[in-house]
Each structure stands twice: as structure tokens, then as C-alpha cells.
Amino acid sequence: MGRSALLIGCNYPGTKAALQGCVNDVWDFKQTLMECMGFDEDNIAIMVDTDQEYPQPTGKNIRAYLNKMVDEAEDGDLLFLHYSGHGTQLPTDDPEEPDGKNECICPSDLDVISDNDLTKIFAPLSKKNVKLTFVADCCHSGTLLDHKEVIITGPKDNKRPPPQANARSMEALQAALGAGDDSRDIQIRSLPLEVYKELLSGKLGGVDFGDLPVSLIKGFGDESMERWARLFPVIADLQKRGQDTSKTLNTLRESAETLVGLKKAREPLNENVGILLSGCLERECAADVRRKNSVPHGAFSHAVNMLLRQMHKDGIIATNRSVNLGVRESLSKSGLKQSPCLEGSEKWADAAFVLCDEEGSI
């Protein structure tokens, strides 16, 4: 059985969108995977934007590594993905998005990776017996895998069954998250559309606010969001011929021949491919939390790590469901307004977190 993990932390240092706790979340998960999940350090890839000695978490690098991870996965393997950083929602005409928005993660270069991109990358796993666990600690992280089945969703109501962790562990977790601490610093991990456009404009030297997809194509080429990258050859050809492409997408939308497949309903990810533990609902925001005399963390990532380590210490098998419920409860009692969700197939809900089940089967 092979084990492979990719841990991504984006603090966006020196920018208007700078966060504090995302890279710390990466180091925490590395420790948890090695101490509690049996991962070798050599099988844990790290991308952070605060240290140039590591691969940078750009859109291109993240896509390339995820595709490599999927291509090399063999039956029986365990794959783990953790993302800590900003999340955003971008407008789309995709008929599969009822709210007219794509949920996206925001790599360090702002070359966003949408839920569509992720489902396309992970789709080949449907032909393999591979367990994929995705922990997403960012705003709008719910539905990032676009599974039709969401096992645990909705606002926290404190009426859920108690997690498989003792009361002492839960009290310690709530204290670590700063329950009742008015001095804690809370920073939201959302990148609103206007702020995203402003930052992107500064990076690319100008963004067409009226037609964002064209700006993404111009800036990142065929590495841009999968849905728009299909137009890259057309845009490139028009640019080569010196034609104005500032409003090209609006024109192309009217051409059925050019947009073959673009408006075609995409295939949803197989329900048995991957399970997502999200930091919040798709309409909610996740938080960075820093308490006095402590280092900052993502509230969700920190809670997951602390709970996993305590359950491991107590000899309790942590399941995806018990981890999600325990973290929901602790965040709620700590006064944080985010509702972690569990998305995927019931097949994985009560399986051991990351690891195989008790019998060793996937």
C-alpha cells in the first residue's frame, strides 16, 4: 500500500491578502501524518509561499503535482491533500452551478483552481481502488469536490451525536481555539471578488474587470481555470493576428462551433472517489485564529490536528464522521461561525480517517 500526501499553505506574504496561520497548518499536518497515520517524510510533498526552498504553491505547480499523484496512484493506495489558504467564488455560466458561482482555492499566484478543475483532476481515480482524503481549510470550501451527496452539512445545532473523544479532550480543544477569549485575533480567509481582481491586476499588469475569464487566459494561458483554458488556442490565435481580445469571450459565447463542449454539462465526480472535510459551507467563511502568546493557525486545521492526535493517544479510531462532528462541536462552542462539512459517499463516512478501516481494506 502506497501513501502520498500534498500539503499546501498560502500565507500571501507582503500582499493585501496576507494571512498568518496557513503555513503553520502545513507543519502541523506533516507531524500528524507522520506520528499518527504512518506516513514517511519522503512521501509528504510540501508547497508553501514563505520559503523559497520549497516548491511554490502556484496554480501550475499544484495542478502538476495533483495530476502526477493521480497518474501514479495504484490500487490500494492512500492519497491525502490538505489546502490552507484563501478561498473565493467566481461567477460562471456553468449550468451545473445553480448559484452561478465556482468555488475556488487561491494559489499563491492567484491562478485559481476551481471545483471543476479538481473534479477533472481526480476523475481518473474512479477506475482505481484508491482512497483520497481532502481537508480544505479556506472560505467557501464546501462542495469543492462537487459530490452530490453531502453526509454532514448545514449550520451547527449542537444536537449531533458526541464524537468518539473523551470530554477532557474536547475541553482542551475548545480552550486551544480560544473559547471565551476576547483577546484572540480572528482573520477571515475569504478573498472577495473585487479584492481578488485588484490583486490579480497588480500581478498581471491589468485585468479586464468586465471579462475576468479572458484576463485569466491572458495571464496564465492554458494553465488557467479548466473551463476557460479550452478557449486558450482561440484567444492566442486572435492575439497573434493582432486582434483585440478585450471582449473576445462575449463574442465566443455566441459561437456554438467555437464553444463545443464548453457549455456541455460536466460529469460529476464518482461518488466513491474521495471524501472532503471542508472548513465551512460553500456560503461561509473560515478563520485564521491567533491567541495571545501563541502562533496563528487555521481554526479548522488546528482543531482537526489536535483531535486526531488526542484520539490516537487514547487508542481511539478516528473516523471521517467522528472527526467532522468533533470539530463542528468544538468550533461552535468556541464561538467561531463556520460549519465544517463532510462530503462524499457514505462508503467513507465511518471509515478510519485517511487510513484503511480496521480490517485493513479500503
Q: Does domain 3-188+267-349 have CATH number 3.30.365.10?
A: no
Q: pTM of this prediction?
A: 0.85
Residues 163, 325 contacting (CB under 8 angstroms)? yes
Distance CA 177, CA 335 (A): 9
pLDDT, one tens digit per residue, over 147-162 is 877 888 877 755 555 4
pLDDT at 262 exceeding the cut of 80: no
Would residue 139 show up in a list of annotated catalytic residues for this protein? yes
- Kindly report the number of other CB atoms within 10 A of residue 167's CB atom: 8
Distance CA 348, CA 238 (A): 47
β-partners of residue 3 are 78
pLDDT, one tens digit per residue, over 332-342 is 888 888 999 99
Distance CA 93, CA 122 (A): 22
pLDDT at 361 exceeding the cut of 50: no
Position 359 scores a pLDDT of 43
Q: Among 5-9, 71-75, 313-317, which is the least confidently predicted range? A: 313-317
Single out the residue of 303, 273, 248 nearest to residue 123, CA to CA: 273
| 3-state class (DSSP) for residue 116 | helix
pLDDT at 80 exceeding the cut of 80: yes
The single residue of 82, 86, 147, 297 carrying the catalytic annotation is 86
The single residue of 139, 140, 280, 302 carrying the catalytic annotation is 139
| Domain coordinates in residue numbering, the chain | 3-188+267-349, 193-253
Position 258 scores a pLDDT of 43
Distance CA 270, CA 291 (A): 41
The torsion angles phi and psi of 68, rounded to 5 degrees, stand at -65, -45
Spell out the residues 6+ positions from residue 334 whose beta carbon is closer than 8 angstroms to its own.
174, 177, 178, 179, 299
Position 358 scores a pLDDT of 45
Distance CA 82, CA 197 (A): 25
